[in-house]
Structure 1
């Protein structure tokens, strides 16, 4: 019997404990950098398993379990919730008004804690150091930066690889991997353009920022449609335009909120440069009395898997899971900040996806062509990962991926 299988065979004994943990975290969600009770519970569970506990980045928790000579492997789970009012009807629904685990982070916590317990109870099956990192504030792109700024790299052993996974609204039991980009870079941008206010009956006395902003919105569409090579991926969304407060007053400024998604760093920079060029040009054409302001926020780095590391982990998955469970996923247009952590250490990383939708419901929706309308996506108030088999599958992926580096013989 392989070391992996020996460990996995004991997983079923602890699934009730993991299920209770998952439901606890789902009932008690906390927003980014406010995850005080969440991190306290995580630290308590890890401490009971023999992990050395480090509090890093405010509400971040890192557990380190040294087990003889060998490499260190870092596995990360994000722990924050979203400002969403839950509407799932579950008997373990959120008890916090207006806050919900609507992106699966509660499942991430429970599965990494489950893997930590399995590794702590089967030290004879591996050697090296397992680092279980629980990161706050992923949803605002603040948590990974906070942990790095608080000395993460100096406070824990340097890993040879970093691992992470995410729940996705596909069939539970499915595991998606890919080399290269798997999540897009994401940038939000606040642009303020300036006009000259006037009475609504006297537009000739104004420089109308509402007309200016409207012109900018239309012109920005050409960045993707006319400046991006066909086949390249870029999304530029103007999510909000705010100006004025009443019908008969021309305001003196307008604000636009933009969101950018790209897979290629060079294209990302081109999009940003083009936005600035277009905005400044339209302001000049309108006779704007003041230069526009540009403010970037909620910036997420590109998540792009190292090819060799992804191949190693994918082969480990394929050797453990049933045929058809592991597939090559397309890159998603969502973004997150995980890569900030391995980039700080200067090490490769592997990020994969785990399906969490009820298999029967998903297959029926797939046959009907109604997946988009019947399977709630991440950030939806109806988002609710099915506990089984999601919990088991996602715990197994954490163990299998870690043992690809820590298992006996893996280091040769």
Structure 2
């Protein structure tokens, strides 16, 4: 990704809109955020007082703004895009085929840069601000890579870690909750091995596609047994790959699954039960060997620290930021919590709306107020049509982050 000279004019609201559009038009996949990292580092260095370190945990960037004596806070934004072909029709749509900022990380980066500018150019905060620009959130690896590269030891240790994520809600509306906020996530690859043959003679073959399809049906019982639990597990089949022609029974079938859970106990039980079901399918079909069962891309449960979360949300509400508490955790996943866990400090994460308020009907508002959930008719994160309204979202996200940051910096250690 290249940068343009106009991106380094004085940091106005229009400036951050230009930064956002530049990021959106030039997305980079997990671990490949080289151009994004360069832009972030250049933007931070153009601000007074920020010390910048690049290549932390690969392509991560860390900025430090030293104030007077006082608390240290970390503010985090993720930078990576997704392997999605954009279908928004935006004038600044992705110029990279098959890659898109479909989860809004471009909003997170531009908003945190805007917050860094306000903290540096407004009244200098008492305490120290550390801005974490993290790679590879989408694979669940980026936060841990930064931790493994010594981010906790190399930079001032925080008293609290703050982060936010754009969502298909009315622009500027914040939702959050104390305790579990987002699910743990595991991707799972199950590979069945059979015995290939001709489609006209299935009795001479062992069909791995049939094993995989049967597992997709049977695995629904694993989460159905938790239906009475408010935060029940979610298990979804996302892909099934087998064969090349209609009259050939393939040798192998690969099934890709995603599992969302809210406790280590539930996670391990479902992984164990799922592997048992897969093995029973192979045994029942007379497969020549057991299936390969490989969990990968693990995200921990995102847990908002009780007490600290209520305090931060009260700060935002008192400053006029619209806030709606969630009754139940969300089934999406994040690796944000890795930082607070590694540092042994509280962490608070919230979602902020990115859709023009006028698009929300009375029915949409009823769903939000009564069900405390995102209206399903709007394109969600990871959709090729996910398109936050930057003119409304960026100022709101900058305000939310700066408001929370200044309040936490003003607290006595």
Contact kept, 8 Å, 2:31 with 2:58, in 1: the verdict is yes
Relative to structure 1, the CA distance from residue 249 to residue 386 in structure 2 (aligned partners, 3 Å threshold; closer, same or farther) is closer
Relative to structure 1, the CA distance from residue 313 to residue 256 in structure 2 (aligned partners, 3 Å threshold; closer, same or farther) is same
Aligned-partner Cα distance in 1 for 2:156–2:285 = 56
Contact kept, 8 Å, 1:312 with 1:404, in 2: the verdict is no
> Hey, what does 2:380 align to over in structure 1?
377
Aligned-partner Cα distance in 2 for 1:275–1:244 = 24
Aligned-partner Cα distance in 1 for 2:29–2:219 = 33
> Hey, what does 2:412 align to over in structure 1?
411
Contact kept, 8 Å, 2:226 with 2:233, in 1: the verdict is no
> Hey, what does 2:286 align to over in structure 1?
287
Contact kept, 8 Å, 1:35 with 1:80, in 2: the verdict is yes
Tell whether 2:246 aligns with 1:250. no
Residue 198 of structure 1: CA displacement? 3.5
Aligned-partner Cα distance in 1 for 2:390–2:315 = 24
More divergent stretch after superposition (73-82 vs 362-371): 362-371
Residue 201 of structure 1: CA displacement? 4.0
Give the SS at the match of 1:341: helix
Q: Which runs of 5+ in 2 are unaligned?
A: 1-9, 368-373
Residue 60 of structure 1: CA displacement? 0.6
Contact kept, 8 Å, 1:67 with 1:123, in 2: the verdict is no
Aligned-partner Cα distance in 2 for 1:403–1:220 = 48
Deviations 1:303-324 (A, max 9, x none): 11111110110111121115xx
> Hey, what does 2:358 align to over in structure 1?
360
Pick the aligned partner of 1:28 from 26, 38, 48: 26
Residue 36 of structure 1: CA displacement? 1.4
Give the SS at the match of 1:69: strand
Give the SS at the match of 1:63: strand
Deviations 1:104-146 (A, max 9, x none): 111111111111111112344x311100110112122222122
Aligned-partner Cα distance in 1 for 2:154–2:393 = 33
Contact kept, 8 Å, 1:171 with 1:363, in 2: the verdict is no
> Hey, what does 1:191 align to over in structure 2?
190
> Hey, what does 2:394 align to over in structure 1?
391
Aligned-partner Cα distance in 2 for 1:231–1:52 = 45
Relative to structure 1, the CA distance from residue 379 to residue 247 in structure 2 (aligned partners, 3 Å threshold; closer, same or farther) is closer
More divergent stretch after superposition (364-373 vs 287-296): 364-373
Give the SS at the match of 1:222: helix
Residue 251 of structure 1: CA displacement? 2.8
Give the SS at the match of 1:405: helix
Deviations 1:358-390 (A, max 9, x none): 1101236727989533x3222222222112321
Relative to structure 1, the CA distance from residue 227 to residue 83 in structure 2 (aligned partners, 3 Å threshold; closer, same or farther) is closer
Relative to structure 1, the CA distance from residue 232 to residue 402 in structure 2 (aligned partners, 3 Å threshold; closer, same or farther) is closer
Contact kept, 8 Å, 1:60 with 1:147, in 2: the verdict is yes
Give the SS at the match of 2:394: helix
Aligned-partner Cα distance in 2 for 1:22–1:379 = 18
Give the SS at the match of 1:355: strand
Contact kept, 8 Å, 1:31 with 1:99, in 2: the verdict is yes
Aligned-partner Cα distance in 1 for 2:281–2:18 = 57
Relative to structure 1, the CA distance from residue 148 to residue 368 in structure 2 (aligned partners, 3 Å threshold; closer, same or farther) is closer
Residue 34 of structure 1: CA displacement? 1.5
Contact kept, 8 Å, 1:168 with 1:356, in 2: the verdict is yes
Aligned-partner Cα distance in 1 for 2:76–2:407 = 16
Give the SS at the match of 2:53: strand
Tell whether 2:94 aligns with 1:94. yes
Residue 73 of structure 1: CA displacement? 0.4
Relative to structure 1, the CA distance from residue 118 to residue 233 in structure 2 (aligned partners, 3 Å threshold; closer, same or farther) is same
> Hey, what does 2:80 align to over in structure 1?
80
More divergent stretch after superposition (85-94 vs 343-352): 85-94
> Hey, what does 2:260 align to over in structure 1?
261
Contact kept, 8 Å, 1:158 with 1:345, in 2: the verdict is yes
Give the SS at the match of 1:372: coil
Contact kept, 8 Å, 1:181 with 1:303, in 2: the verdict is yes
> Hey, what does 1:328 align to over in structure 2?
325
> How many residues are treated as equivalent by the alignment?
395
Give the SS at the match of 1:307: coil
> Hey, what does 1:3 align to over in structure 2?
none
> Hey, what does 1:51 align to over in structure 2?
50
Give the SS at the match of 1:333: coil
> Hey, what does 2:68 align to over in structure 1?
68
Deviations 1:382-412 (A, max 9, x none): 22211232111111111111122212xx216
Contact kept, 8 Å, 2:11 with 2:117, in 1: the verdict is no
